[in-house]
């Protein structure tokens, strides 16, 4: 009897989680960012594609085939012909664009195959952002990512609204959203904890050293600013606090705290993109962060933005409707206002 | 109350599917969360014991490293210097001046700030591997082995890093081809040089730390057609 009560309660718990799909806006934004980042990667090295991924790349074809991990494959492994490489590479660009714009399960699976194929061709070229993209792209085929920011979004939302009652597909979507959020949260927390035990991070000199690494010294002002002991220490501590506290920002019931946490970490990533030149890394991380905000957060942000916009519009001086058009001269209104 | 069993069974089956899916997904999520936590955790006796089991689930699709400039960022710059030997049309052999390939690639990346090239990732990956190679080489040297055992250990190490050396040779060949278009290049050489970043306490001093040679590939046969 107790067992059946437990079973019913468990079922009720899952039912609550299986009625409505959550984080539809965040996952749609993540899809757009992942597709866009892949496009940037394809296009930024379009001229160097032979050297990085071609049949005669720096990593030889023999070595590439020899080092493919068990259980994985790459579309680039099937032929050494130049034509095959060009076809796969250019199809990858088209698929990335279609994935970013349209979304949908089938396109997500196809994009995942092309993207992972490129990543496997030479893993040395990958950075932290690619690592996150490589993982979350495996969750996205099981989630709904085209309910927003897609030409078919409205149709998708209508279909979702027509569904009534709990369903296993909805439950699967929500679990995939949970996987994505968990992965992003682990990323920041672990990175923050590793920094806490780093001598240069708690001494506040880590940003000074990073800003002097040739490959990351993209911004003269940042390098100059990091000469300042206070600025360097503040930025180091800010990074640690934001990263370690990120899980709290995600789980808190206080919306303002969640938004503050995500906004702070976005500020960090914008700094990384322009200060250190890690544009794709920062882009993918921002995409991951956006999946951590709830649909209600986005709606609240949109409401606030609309309120702000309407206040700005209301604050503009307007002429009464009864004033004849011949008198509706902005210069006259300005003179009157000034005199008052 | 409808006595038709088919009608009554529809909602029951749906709820059962939700329950079953929920249980399965919960177990999968718990296993994933545990495996990822073990994978990314700092080294500890518990991690050493668990990793062989958890990596069976995480490798290769969920492999991940999130140190991101932690625990400490690098405190030195490592640059690749590439040099080439080539034969001119008259048959005379020339040795080109050493060229800093890393600086060239960084400048190339800075040329397009909104979409920087990934080429710079290549020399960075190479110097990471060479750092590991030199570290292991140092360990072998310090192990007080007899000459024969030491030679065997060095040979095994070189074999282990053969792919890395091949990549460096191909990278140097591509760089040389870009520097001397139309020449008949015969040999290339890649040298890894290191410069310590000025300590924070000396940051306003004008003098920079000297560049030191860290590793030298020696002259290797040019590989034609890399990246062509």
Q: What is the distance between the alpha carbons of residues A13 and A15, in angstroms, rounded to a whole number?
A: 5
Q: What is the mean pLDDT of chain A?
A: 91
Q: What is the pLDDT of residue B68?
A: 86
Q: What is the pLDDT of residue B91?
A: 87
Structure confidence by residue, pLDDT tens digits, A224-266: 999 999 999 999 999 999 999 999 999 999 999 998 999 999 9
CA B155 to chain A, closest CA, distance in angstroms equals 20
Mean pLDDT across the stretch A79-84?
Answer: 96
Instruction: Indicate whether B79 pLDDT > 80.
Output: yes
Mean pLDDT across the stretch A163-185?
Answer: 95
Q: Return the top range by mean pLDDT from A62-71, A139-148, A270-279.
A: A139-148
Instruction: Indicate whether A318 pLDDT > 70.
Output: no
ipTM over 0.85: yes
Looking at per-residue pLDDT, the higher value among A202 and A334 belongs to A202
Residues of B within 8 A of A191 (CB-CB) are: 66-68, 70
Residues of B within 8 A of A212 (CB-CB) are: 77, 197-198
CA A225 to chain B, closest CA, distance in angstroms equals 12
Contact assignment for A135 to B61 by CB distance below 8 Å? yes
Q: Which of A95, A136, A133, A124 is nearest to A281 (CA)?
A: A133
Mean pLDDT across the stretch B173-177?
Answer: 96
Residue among A10, A48, A69 minimizing CB distance to B117: A48
Does the pTM surpass 0.80? The reply is yes
A13 CB within 8 Å of a chain B CB: yes
Residue among A72, A197, A210 minimizing CB distance to B60: A72
CA A250 to chain B, closest CA, distance in angstroms equals 16
**What DSSP string runs through B39-91?**
HHSPP-HHHHHHHHHHHHHHTTTT-----SS-S----EEEEEEEEEEEE-TTS
**Predicted confidence band of residue B66 (pLDDT cuts 50, 70, 90):** very high
Looking at per-residue pLDDT, the higher value among A326 and A165 belongs to A165
Q: What is the pLDDT of residue B65?
A: 92
Give yes or no for a contact between A236 and A220, defined as CB atoms under 8 angstroms apart: no
Q: What is the pLDDT of residue A15?
A: 87
Give B184's strand partners.
B87
Residue among B11, B61, B124 minimizing CB distance to A215: B124
Give me the residues of A, 206-245, that contact B with CB < 8 A. 206, 208-210, 212-215, 218, 227, 229, 232
**What DSSP string runs through A156-182?**
HHHHHHH--S--HHHHHHHHHHHHHHH
**Predicted confidence band of residue B205 (pLDDT cuts 50, 70, 90):** confident
């Amino acid at each position: 009897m107790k067992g059946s009560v437990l079973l019913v309660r468990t079922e009720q718990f899952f039912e609550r989680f299986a009625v409505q799909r959550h984080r539809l806006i965040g996952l749609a934004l993540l899809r757009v960012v992942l597709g866009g980042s892949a496009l940037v990667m394809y296009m930024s090295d379009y001229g160097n594609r032979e050297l990085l991924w071609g049949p005669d790349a720096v990593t030889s074809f023999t070595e590439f085939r020899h080092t493919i991990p068990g259980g994985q494959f790459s579309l680039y492994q099937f032929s050494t012909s130049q034509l095959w490489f060009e076809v796969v590479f250019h199809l990858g660009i088209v698929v990335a664009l279609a994935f970013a714009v349209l979304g949908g399960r089938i396109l997500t699976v196809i994009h995942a195959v092309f993207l992972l194929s490129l990543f496997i061709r030479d893993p040395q070229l990958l950075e932290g952002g690619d690592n996150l993209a490589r993982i979350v792209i495996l969750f996205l085929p099981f989630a709904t990512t085209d309910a927003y920011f897609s030409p078919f979004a409205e149709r998708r939302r209508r279909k979702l609204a027509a569904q009534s009652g709990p369903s296993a597909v909805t439950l699967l979507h929500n679990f995939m959203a949970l996987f994505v959020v968990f992965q992003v949260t682990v990323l920041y927390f672990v990175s923050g904890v590793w920094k806490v035990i780093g001598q240069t991070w708690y001494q506040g000199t880590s940003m000074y050293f990073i800003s002097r690494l040739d490959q990351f010294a993209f911004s003269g002002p940042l390098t100059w600013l990091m000469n300042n002991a206070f600025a360097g220490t503040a930025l180091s501590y800010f990074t640690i606090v934001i990263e370690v506290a990120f899980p709290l920002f995600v789980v808190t019931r206080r919306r303002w705290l969640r938004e503050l946490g995500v906004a702070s970490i976005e500020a960090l990533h914008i700094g990384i993109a322009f200060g250190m030149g890690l544009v794709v890394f920062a882009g993918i991380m921002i995409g991951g962060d956006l999946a951590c905000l709830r649909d209600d957060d986005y709606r609240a942000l949109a409401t606030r933005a609309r309120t702000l916009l309407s206040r700005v519009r209301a604050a503009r001086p307007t002429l009464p409707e009864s004033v004849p058009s011949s008198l509706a001269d902005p210069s006259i209104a300005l003179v009157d206002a000034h005199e008052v | 109350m409808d006595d038709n069993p088919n009608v009554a069974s529809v909602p029951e089956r749906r709820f059962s599917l939700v329950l079953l899916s929920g249980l399965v997904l919960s177990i999968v999520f718990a296993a994933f969360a545990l495996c990822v936590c073990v994978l990314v955790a700092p080294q500890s006796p518990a991690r050493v014991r668990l990793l062989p089991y958890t990596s069976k689930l995480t490798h290769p699709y969920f492999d991940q490293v999130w140190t991101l400039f932690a625990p400490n960022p690098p405190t030195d710059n490592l640059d690749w210097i590439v040099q080439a030997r080539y034969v001119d049309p008259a048959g005379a052999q020339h040795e080109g001046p050493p060229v800093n390939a890393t600086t060239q690639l960084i400048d190339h990346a800075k040329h397009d700030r909104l979409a920087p090239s990934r080429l710079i990732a290549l020399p960075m990956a190479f110097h990471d591997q060479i750092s590991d190679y030199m570290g292991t080489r140092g360990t072998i040297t310090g192990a007080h082995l007899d000459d024969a055992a030491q030679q065997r250990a060095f040979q095994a190490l070189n074999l282990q890093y053969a792919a890395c050396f091949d990549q460096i040779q191909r990278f140097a060949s591509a760089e040389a081809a870009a520097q001397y278009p139309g020449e008949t290049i015969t040999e290339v050489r890649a040298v890894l040089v290191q410069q310590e970043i000025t300590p924070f306490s000396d940051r306003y001093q004008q003098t920079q730390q000297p560049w030191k040679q860290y590793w030298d590939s020696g002259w290797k046969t040019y590989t034609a057609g890399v990246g062509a």
